[in-house]
Amino acid sequence: MMILTADPHFSDMALEELRQDCPTAQVRQTLEPGLWLIDLPDGFFALAEQWRRQPPIFVRHICPVMLTLAWDTAVSPPHIAAELGDLFDPALPFSVQTRTVGDTAVKPFDINKPLSEAIQQATGTPLDVRQPVQILSVVMHGRTAHIGLSLAAHNLSDWAGGMRRFAREKEQISRAEFKLLEAIEVFEIALPAYGRALDLGAAPGGWTRVLHKREQYVTAVDPANLHPSLYRIRTIRHKRMTAEEYLAEGPDTYDLIVNDMRQDARDSARLMVDFAPYLYRHGTALMTFKLPENGRANVIDHAFNILSQSYAIAGARQLFHNRSEITVYLNVKRDA
């Protein structure tokens, strides 16, 4: 069995991905919207390895269920350590990640601390909550604990339930910054030192600020004003025009193009194709698809087909900081 997590708004899309990649899987129980207990006749690790190599778009997090019990803080940690201890690799750091669902008085810390201590005592495995290689996942549903051990690489996210949190900074301009930060992390985007970045539809400038902090020279294109703090930065220039007007003007050449504009995903894809010739041969792009309530799969397929004229799809995910959208990472084709 496993626990599968997705944004409730995209439950149908996530379960369809599961059905396509593992036809024998069955939903045993819906623990809450966007959180399911899944029967896997073929086991967790075959599917996890498949999704590690080619991640789904809408399934945000998975973890195995190897043990199910009624939680008792005094008894459960040593029992779990005894049952699952032999599965730990003592050479690889681990962490315990707990989520609570439904009516339960137990807090994640009340589980993480005693369970981590019991595992360390029983196995000698080092604890590292920041960069674990092994994760012992616990999902508390009422008083019932669903528990399983897996490599962090097999969970689709290092964070419990895929809920990646970032600290709010004093200089932060918008919540959209979290979306770009998460995308850089998830897609492992290596920005070139002192690279040239183009931010389409930049106002008020959250993504521009993030790129500047990563030592990029940013051209921000938007007819609206940027945040006043950005005008004091010499490595940011504001082109006060639409993306189409900038295209007609004759853009410079860039290492990275980003686009978080609020427009139909297919129109946004066409715009990115128009800008592809202005990427260096090693260039990459990052964009969001704003998705409608109905016909989302068709919109995604159509937008991908448009992009395929000039780009290879390097990744597409419905990130924790996405709302009614997905984030798409692109590599420009050499002959674009």
* Burial (CB count <10 Å: 0-12, 13-18, 19+), residue 75: exposed
Q: Give the closest residue to 59 by CA, choosing from 138, 141, 153, 155.
A: 155
HSE value, Cβ hemisphere, 13 Å, CA-based, for 191? 25
C-alpha span between 158 and 132 (Å, rounded): 8
Q: Report the Cα 251 to chain-centroid distance in Å.
A: 31
CA distances from 238 to 104, 127, 180, 241, 272 (A): 51, 47, 19, 9, 19
Q: Are strands 35-39 and 2-5 parallel, antiparallel or unpaired?
A: antiparallel
Side chain identity at residue 256, one-letter code: L
Q: How many CB atoms lie within 10 A of CB 121?
A: 13
Side chain identity at residue 135, one-letter code: I
Residue 329 near residue 314, CB atoms below 8 Å: yes
C-alpha span between 209 and 206 (Å, rounded): 5
Residue of 113, 170, 213, 290 with catalytic role: 290
Q: Which helix (H) or strand (E) holds 4?
A: strand 2-5
The answer to whether residue 290 is catalytic is yes
Q: Please, which residues have CB within 8 angstroms of residue 266's CB and are 6 or more apart in sequence?
A: 299, 302, 303, 306
Q: Residue 227 — φ and ψ, nearest 5°? A: -60, 140
Residue 64 near residue 137, CB atoms below 8 Å: yes
Residue 62 near residue 48, CB atoms below 8 Å: yes
Q: Which residues are catalytic?
A: 290
